[in-house]
């Protein structure tokens, strides 16, 4: 069942992504101010949006684990955080390359970029600390608390370009303010969907590994007790 | 079309795909290690129980 779902998600992702990439690279005109480089938006922003979706899922599942003590929630949480952290890295790297081309600098310590870097470091910390805790219940409980704590950065990332009186190098929210050209909206939405489908397949694979890892832990305990 | 823009566009998409591909490889190699370890432990437990 799980394998079937992974294959279906991967096929759907390919069906959405391949024609969309063709539209992005061969169908859309260059942007008036930026030329061809603006096409980075079709990977840079979908990566960030999906990371925030998966971090929100991890927040909910972490709370559910603390309430119900069911390891299924813990395995979903860690899987979402691992994939989300990878997406934040994609967002930071592509943003840096875009910034180098448009602003002439690789990095600016403004609120948006710094809060996104903090987000990456917080969740990376979660992933590095987690394996150091041997006892499964303790590991899942501490991980859930760290995941809830790390999520506190997400509203800051979202608000960084919306707060008044905050000077930022990063442009404002183009979708909400309507400054994105109408012909860019459909490929942008399909880009978000394609990244979501690929990453959901990756989360299902990772979640299965987490369940198998717990089985390994219990077999090890059984071996010691025999 | 500005060639500098195209170069940076290429860098951007390449970097994104390299990160995603590296993550998939990491996932696959971890999956193989976990499957191997699980099979080894299951046979060890079965052996011990038989004795």
CB contact under 8 A, A43 and B45: no
CB contact under 8 A, B38 and A101: no
Find the residue in B nearest to A216 (Cα). Answer: B38
What is the band of A70 on the pLDDT scale with cuts at 50, 70, 90? very high
What is the band of A127 on the pLDDT scale with cuts at 50, 70, 90? very high
Top residue of B4, B9, B40 to mutate, by most chain A CBs within 10 Å, is B9
Average pLDDT taken over every residue of chain B: 90
Does the pLDDT of residue A177 top 70, yes or no? no
| pLDDT score at A175 | 64
Asked if the C-beta of B45 comes within 8 angstroms of chain A's C-beta atoms, the answer is yes
CB contact under 8 A, B1 and A212: no
Find the residue in B nearest to A47 (Cα). Answer: B16
Residue A146 CB partners (closer than 8 Å, separation 6+) = A125, A126, A129
Question: Please, are residues A84 and A54 in contact by the beta-carbon 8 Å criterion?
Answer: yes
**Secondary structure, 3-state, chain A:** CHHHHHHHHHHHHHHHHHHHHHHHHHHCCCECCCEHHHHHHHHHHHHHHHHHHHHHHHHHHHHHHHHHCCHHHHHHHHHHHHHHHHHHHHHHHHHHHHHHHHCCCCCCCCHHHHHHHHHHHHHHHHHHHHHHCCCHHHHHHHHHHHHHHHHCHHHHHHHCCCCCCCCCCCCCCHHHHCCCCHHHHHHHHHHHHHHHHHHHHHHHHHHHHHHHHHHHHHHHHHHHHC
Does the pLDDT of residue A24 top 80, yes or no? yes
Contacts with A220 from chain B: Cβ below 8 Å? 41
Of A37, A93, A213, the CB nearest to B15: A93
Task: Report how far residue A95's alpha carbon sits from residue A108's, in angstroms, rounded to the nearest whole number.
Answer: 11
Segment of A20-34, A58-72, B4-18, B37-51 carrying the highest mean pLDDT: A58-72
Does the pLDDT of residue B1 top 60, yes or no? no
Shortest Cα distance, chain B CAs vs residue A102, angstroms? 9
Domain boundaries, chain A: 2-163+177-225
Domain boundaries, chain B: 18-51
Task: Report how far residue A142's alpha carbon sits from residue A179's, in angstroms, rounded to the nearest whole number.
Answer: 43
CB contact under 8 A, A36 and B38: no
Question: What is the tens place of the pLDDT at every residue in A74-124?
Answer: 999 999 999 999 999 999 999 999 999 888 999 988 888 999 999 999 999
The ipTM, to two decimals, is 0.89
Chain B, residues 4-43, CB within 8 A of chain A, namely 4-6, 8-9, 11-13, 15-16, 19-20, 23-24, 27, 30-31, 34-35, 37-38, 41-42
Interface of A with B (CB under 8 A): 30, 34-37, 39-40, 43-44, 47, 83, 86, 89-90, 93-94, 97-98, 100-101, 198, 202, 205-206, 209, 212-213, 215-216, 219-220, 222-223, 226
Q: Which fold has domain A2-163+177-225?
A: 1.20.120
Does the pLDDT of residue A207 top 60, yes or no? yes
CB contact under 8 A, A98 and B12: yes
| pLDDT score at B20 | 95
């Amino acid at each position: 069942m799980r394998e079937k779902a992974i294959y279906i998600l991967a096929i759907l992702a390919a069906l959405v992504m391949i024609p969309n990439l063709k539209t992005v690279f061969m169908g859309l005109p260059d942007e008036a101010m930026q030329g061809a480089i603006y096409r980075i938006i079709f990977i840079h922003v979908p990566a960030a949006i999906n990371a925030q979706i998966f971090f929100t899922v991890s927040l909910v599942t972490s709370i559910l684990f603390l309430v119900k003590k069911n390891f299924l929630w813990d395995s979903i949480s860690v899987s979402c955080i691992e994939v989300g952290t990878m997406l934040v890295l994609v967002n930071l790297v592509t943003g840096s390359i875009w910034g180098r081309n448009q602003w002439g600098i690789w990095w600016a310590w403004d609120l948006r970029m710094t809060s996104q870097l903090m987000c990456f470091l917080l969740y990376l910390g979660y992933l590095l600390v987690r394996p150091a805790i041997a006892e499964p219940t303790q590991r899942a409980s501490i991980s859930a608390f760290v995941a809830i704590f790390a999520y506190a950065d997400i509203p800051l990332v979202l608000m960084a370009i919306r707060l008044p009186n905050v000077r930022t190098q990063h442009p404002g929210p183009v979708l909400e303010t309507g400054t994105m050209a109408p012909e860019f909206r459909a490929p942008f939405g399909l880009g978000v969907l394609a990244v979501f489908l690929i990453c959901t397949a990756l989360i299902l694979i990772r979640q299965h590994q987490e369940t198998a890892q717990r089985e390994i832990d219990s077999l090890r305990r059984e071996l010691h007790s025999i | 079309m500005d060639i500098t823009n195209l170069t940076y566009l290429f860098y951007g998409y390449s970097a994104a795909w390299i990160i995603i591909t590296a993550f998939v490889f990491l996932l696959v190699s971890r999956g193989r290690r976990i499957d191997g370890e699980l099979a080894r432990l299951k046979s060890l437990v079965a052996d011990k129980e038989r004795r």
